[in-house]
């Protein structure tokens, strides 16, 4: 096993990775920006290095600084976490040429799946259904209008190198399409360094269901079942659960099979997630593949009993997958609530500020993945995730009751959080019945007003 | 003699069973042994922690001059390895040298590239705070500098 690795991330995921390493006897080097110098996760690592000023572009996204930190600490591998450089194939390439093991798939695979239009092509080649859309990136206005007329409005404009629900725009007619194109391209360029966009039919109401896969470097691959990430706000996931409520075993089978197929088609290694949209008739469509660990990985860990971060480390180190598809069992129901520093009463505007008091829930079946503490100053430079509250019980009904209890115990003062909106979501009878779609949160908020 | 023997036995017992603390009472005599757990904190990484300015031994070779309100620090503009001179050459600066904004004070190596670090301030070097070849993090103090008083 590796003797020492560097964690190229921050916050709760850095802590998550450090914990897995500790249990495997791997020494950890954490990195931080000037804004994170008092972060708790640093104290859990064996050593830490400040690599730059607060701005992410100068620190967590700064490849030379991270590699320099890797050199002076003599590490063997880098875990990129999620976000930041986790899906940056150039970063993976630099690691590879610096003789540092990148804990994830190869840069080649990341490049393939990183271009969402290419990923669509691969799905089509493998007879996996995709949402009707453009055959390639959009070349110009005429092309966009032609595609929109072929597939029918409303349409969704997406960044080819985007992902994570960011930089997407809906257009309902030719005029809004033309207006949105330029904006979408600008946003894509700013967020993903590439202005390339494509178009898909906008399907709503829909469900967002994804499948976790793991593969070693020897061609062995398994899936760990699906996660339901339908509860979103502005295309950002808020609450996730496993297994997915109210889906047929046929749908489950089909998306798990399709996930393995597409992952095998690109010789995928390490952990990854294949995302699907399921429409009102239960038909599934491939959206994209995320070539990294996901935020919501804990719900899969709870129901399967498998530590995904440890699997990543083992696979990266060259070990054979010790999991057999037949032996993987899903037990019970797990739900995760993302606790963000946002003001749900003010358009969910991100909140920076000092956490004056923090008291986490506990008890049977409760897991908290969080880096915050009383007195912690939430920096304004990064995402607003304070932590994840996960519960696991025998039935979904029990999980909901447990989550309700745990949310009521979770006290965070000094900043606004998404705890209140989560309380509303899980109390809603439609959620309890598994009667959910991607407009659920928006509808809930509108009804309250 | 008996007591020393007892203590030796207790130490063996502790080591065999990986104990950090043991207390024993017998016939009115109480013995308590406690290990200093420093070896569990030792790592092979020689890195400055957040609070320490520098862990390098021998930095007391460079005696800090009297601290006054006018002194400030030149800090590392990047993470990497600090070199006080070009290979085989004399140090860029020594204690007592006067520098201005454009004076190169050291090199920081990152990803095999030698980056010259400029003082970006005026003054007299009063302390060299890291050793040649040491790993430095972003923002780590490298030199203490005193504002020059008066003209030449």
CB contact under 8 A, A49 and B47: yes
Q: How far is A26 from chain B (nearest CA, A)?
A: 12
Pairing of strands A47-52, A101-102: unpaired
Count of CB atoms situated within 10 Å of the CB of B94: 11
The domain locations on chain A are: 4-103, 132-201, 206-448
Cα distance between residue A241 and residue A332, in whole Å: 11
ipTM of the complex: 0.84
Which residues in chain A are contacts of B140 at CB distance < 8 A? 50
Count of CB atoms situated within 10 Å of the CB of A14: 27
CB contact under 8 A, A73 and B47: yes
Tens of pLDDT, residue by residue over A172-200, are 999 999 999 999 999 899 888 899 999 99
Share of chain A above pLDDT 90, in %: 92
A242: its two tokens: 């496993």
Phi and psi, residue A188, nearest 5° = -65, -45
Query: What's the alpha-carbon Rg for chain B, to the nearest Å?
Result: 24
The domain locations on chain B are: 2-40, 59-146
Which residues in chain A are contacts of B81 at CB distance < 8 A? 71-72
Tens of pLDDT, residue by residue over B118-147, are 999 999 999 999 999 999 999 999 999 998
Considering the entire predicted model, what is its pTM? 0.86
Cα distance between residue B35 and residue B23, in whole Å: 12
Closest among A281, A284, A211 to A242, alpha carbons compared: A211
- Judge whether A4-103 and A132-201 match in fold: no
Which of A44, A49, A93 is most worth mutating to test chain B (most B CB atoms within 10 A of its CB)?
Answer: A49
Q: How many CA atoms lie within 13 A of A289 on its CB side?
A: 36
Q: Determine the residue of chain A that is closest to B112 in CA distance.
A: A68
Tens of pLDDT, residue by residue over A274-295, are 999 999 999 999 999 999 999 9
Looking at per-residue pLDDT, the higher value among A349 and A209 belongs to A209
Which of B138, B139, B142 is most worth mutating to test chain A (most A CB atoms within 10 A of its CB)?
Answer: B138
Average pLDDT estimate for B37-49: 42
CATH architecture of A4-103: 3-Layer(aba) Sandwich (3.40)
CB contact under 8 A, B138 and A98: no
CB contact under 8 A, A49 and B49: no
Which residues in chain B are contacts of A46 at CB distance < 8 A? 43, 45
B57: its two tokens: 């031994």
CB A213 within 8 A of CB A202: no
CATH architecture of B59-146: Beta Barrel (2.40)
CB contact under 8 A, B45 and A74: yes
CATH architecture of A132-201: 2-Layer Sandwich (3.30)
Q: How far is B17 from chain A (nearest CA, A)?
A: 21
Q: Is A19 a known active-site residue?
A: no
Residues of A with CB under 8 A from a CB of B: 4, 27, 29, 34, 37-38, 42, 46-53, 59, 64-65, 67-69, 71-74, 98
CATH 3.40.50.2000 is right for the domain spanning A206-448: no
DSSP assignment of A325-383 = GGG----SEEEEEEEESEETTTTTEE--EE--EEE---STTEEEEE---TT-EE-TTS-
> How high is the pLDDT of residue B150?
45
Cα distance between residue A60 and residue A34, in whole Å: 11
Q: How far is CA B65 from the centre of its chain?
A: 18
Q: Determine the residue of chain B that is closest to A39 in CA distance.
A: B50
Mean pLDDT across chain A, nearest whole number?
95
CB contact under 8 A, B50 and A34: no
CB B147 within 8 A of CB B70: yes
> How high is the pLDDT of residue B149?
53
Which of B53, B83, B115, B137 is most worth mutating to test chain A (most A CB atoms within 10 A of its CB)?
Answer: B137
Residue B2 pLDDT > 90: no
Catalytic option among A120, A169, A207, A292: A292
> How high is the pLDDT of residue B22?
82
């Amino acid at each position: 096993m590796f003797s020492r690795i560097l964690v190229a991330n921050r916050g709760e995921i850095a802590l998550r990775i450090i914990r897995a390493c500790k249990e495997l006897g791997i020494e950890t080097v954490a990195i931080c920006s000037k804004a994170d110098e008092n972060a708790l996760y640093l104290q859990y690592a064996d050593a830490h290095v400040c690599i730059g000023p607060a701005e992410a572009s100068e620190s967590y996204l700064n490849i030379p600084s991270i590699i320099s930190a890797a050199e002076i600490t003599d590490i063997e591998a880098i875990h990129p976490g999620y976000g930041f450089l986790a899906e940056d194939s150039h970063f993976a390439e630099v690691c590879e040429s610096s003789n540092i093991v990148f804990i994830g798939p190869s840069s080649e695979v990341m490049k393939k799946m990183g271009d969402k239009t290419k990923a669509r092509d691969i799905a089509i080649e493998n007879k996996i259904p995709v949402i009707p859309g453009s055959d390639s990136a959009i070349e110009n206005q005429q092309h966009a209008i032609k595609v929109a007329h072929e597939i029918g409005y409303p349409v969704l404009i997406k960044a080819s190198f985007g992902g994570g629900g960011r930089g997407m725009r809906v257009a309902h007619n030719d005029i809004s399409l033309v207006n949105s194109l330029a904006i979408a391209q600008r946003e894509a360029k700013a967020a993903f360094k590439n202005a390339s966009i494509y178009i898909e039919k906008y399907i709503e109401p829909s469900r967002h269901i994804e499948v976790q896969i793991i593969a070693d470097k020897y061609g062995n691959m398994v899936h760990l079942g699906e996660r339901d990430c339908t509860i979103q706000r502005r295309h950002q996931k808020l609450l996730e659960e496993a297994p997915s409520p109210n889906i047929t075993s046929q749908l489950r089978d089909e998306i798990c099979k399709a996930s393995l197929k597409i992952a095998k088609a690109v010789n995928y290694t390490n952990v990854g997630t294949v995302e699907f949209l399921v429409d009102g008739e239960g038909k599934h469509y491939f959206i994209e593949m995320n070539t990294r660990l996901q935020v919501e990985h804990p719900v899969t860990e709870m129901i399967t009993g498998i530590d995904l971060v440890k699997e990543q480390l083992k696979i990266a180190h060259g070990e054979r997958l010790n999991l057999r598809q037949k032996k993987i069992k899903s037990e019970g129901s797990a739900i995760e609530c993302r606790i963000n520093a946002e003001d749900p009463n003010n358009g969910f505007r991100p909140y920076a500020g000092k956490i004056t008091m923090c008291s986490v829930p506990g008890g049977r079946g409760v897991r908290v993945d969080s880096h915050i503490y009383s007195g912690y100053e939430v920096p304004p430079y990064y995402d607003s995730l304070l932590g994840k509250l996960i519960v696991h019980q025998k039935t979904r009904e029990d999980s909901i009751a447990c989550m309700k209890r745990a949310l009521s115990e979770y006290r965070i003062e000094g900043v606004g959080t998404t705890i209140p909106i989560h309380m509303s979501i899980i109390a809603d009878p439609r959620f309890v019945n598994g009667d959910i779609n991607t407009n659920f949160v928006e509808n809930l908020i509108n009804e309250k007003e | 003699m008996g007591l020393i023997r007892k203590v030796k036995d207790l130490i063996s017992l502790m080591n065999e069973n990986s104990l950090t603390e043991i207390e024993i009472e017998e016939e009115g005599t109480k013995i308590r042994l406690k290990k200093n757990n420093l070896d569990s904190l030792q790592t092979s990484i020689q890195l400055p922690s957040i609070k320490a300015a520098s862990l390098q031994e021998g930095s007391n070779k460079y005696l800090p001059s009297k601290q006054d309100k006018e002194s400030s620090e030149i800090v590392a503009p990047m993470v990497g390895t600090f070199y006080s001179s070009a290979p085989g050459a004399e140090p860029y600066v020594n204690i007592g040298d006067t520098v201005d904004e454009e004076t190169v004070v050291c090199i920081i190596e990152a990803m095999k590239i030698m980056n010259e670090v400029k003082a970006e301030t005026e003054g007299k070097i009063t302390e060299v705070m890291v050793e040649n070849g040491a790993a430095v993090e972003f923002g780590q103090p490298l030199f203490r500098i005193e504002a020059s008083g008066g003209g030449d």
